[in-house]
Structure 1
């Protein structure tokens, strides 16, 4: 992640709007950010529709926004905000790291993409960087984007990857796959990510469909 941009003592605080449909998340983010004198939380919105309607009145430097929200989600809101203000700086802060979510948000014009498991220090660095016009990605997201740029990994699925995919095709959840194969759910997720990369797909349904096309289950 980018290093902290240096701010002088006479600069105004970075004005931030928090957009998330969960009040407890908004409260937590406000508490974290307002500990830092460089930041001022100037408003909140509970979904994309509200931030689009109220964006001008907030006059924010950075919009910190969840991705999946009712009425209007993050990607739609990013597109509308940038249509109104091409200089808007929008940081996605979400729990979702699917390739399609990352690519859609960045393609829509998001300044950065962060996962909610980042530390307070990483969050404040990211907000400063975004305010300075720098792109910001969580390390895990950076790996995913670079993986997409490199294209699908060559080579066949391993035996264990095929076992995982076959169970998924039969309707098993990650928890059920883990119990069946006596592995952790984290390991199941890792196997699925490798499957997605090798098959050139973004999700479970597409992976199963591609596997059938290639007769991998025969």
Structure 2
């Protein structure tokens, strides 16, 4: 029986979203995928900072709109601390200025919540495998190019 790298070394994901139902849905989606494991959950940016440093996940799936500390501030603080983490930001907006601000913080990708069910695992795998460009769905890329 052959084992893929993911069988031996699963992608460790930390979920950060202020809505318990969203976290539960994301956890269920990810746990049904071979080679992905959820190592923790945070309900705000402050918890996401703490758990990222404590649990050292491979990917931080980070909601942008959260109380206490929003996702953009959490990203900035992680980058200031030189924490080596791939961050996949998730949000509900697709406005160019909004997405551009997120991308400028140094994330590995951005996904709109409406696309998560279909594209989340693909995004996580591509980012973990070392995608050389920031991951954006084709739909988000198209939206951004229309604004130019």
TM-score normalised by structure 2 residue count: 0.87
Higher strand fraction (1 or 2): 2
Matches within 5 A, 1:2-151: 8=5, 10-118=7-115, 120-134=117-131, 135-148=134-147, 151=148
Would you say the 8 A contact 1:32–1:120 is kept in 2?
Answer: yes
Q: Are the structure 2 counterparts of residues 101 and 18 from structure 1 closer, same or farther at C-alpha, using a change threshold of 3 Å?
A: same
Q: Are the structure 2 counterparts of residues 108 and 116 from structure 1 closer, same or farther at C-alpha, using a change threshold of 3 Å?
A: same
Q: What is the CA-CA distance between 1:121 and the residue it aligns to?
A: 4.4
**What is the aligned-residue RMSD (CA, Å)?**
1.7
Q: Are the structure 2 counterparts of residues 128 and 9 from structure 1 closer, same or farther at C-alpha, using a change threshold of 3 Å?
A: closer
Q: Equivalents in 2 of 1:111, 1:9: separation in Å?
A: 20
Q: What is the CA-CA distance between 1:143 and the residue it aligns to?
A: 1.9
In structure 1, list runs of 5 or more residues that go unmatched. Answer: 1-6, 152-218
Q: What is the CA-CA distance between 1:8 and the residue it aligns to?
A: 3.1
Q: Equivalents in 2 of 1:41, 1:21: separation in Å?
A: 16
**Greater relative contact order (CA < 8 Å, ≥ 6 in sequence):** 2
Q: Are the structure 2 counterparts of residues 58 and 102 from structure 1 closer, same or farther at C-alpha, using a change threshold of 3 Å?
A: same
Who wins on radius of gyration, i.e. which is larger? 1
Deviation sequence 1:61-104 (CA, Å, 0-9, x none): 00001111111111111111122235310001111112221001
TM-score normalised by structure 1 residue count: 0.61
Deviation sequence 1:4-27 (CA, Å, 0-9, x none): xxx535541000000000000000
Matches within 5 A, 1:187-206: none
Q: Are the structure 2 counterparts of residues 113 and 8 from structure 1 closer, same or farther at C-alpha, using a change threshold of 3 Å?
A: same
Q: Are the structure 2 counterparts of residues 11 and 85 from structure 1 closer, same or farther at C-alpha, using a change threshold of 3 Å?
A: farther
Would you say the 8 A contact 2:53–2:83 is kept in 1?
Answer: no
Ranges of 4+ aligned residues in structure 1 off by more than 4 Å: none
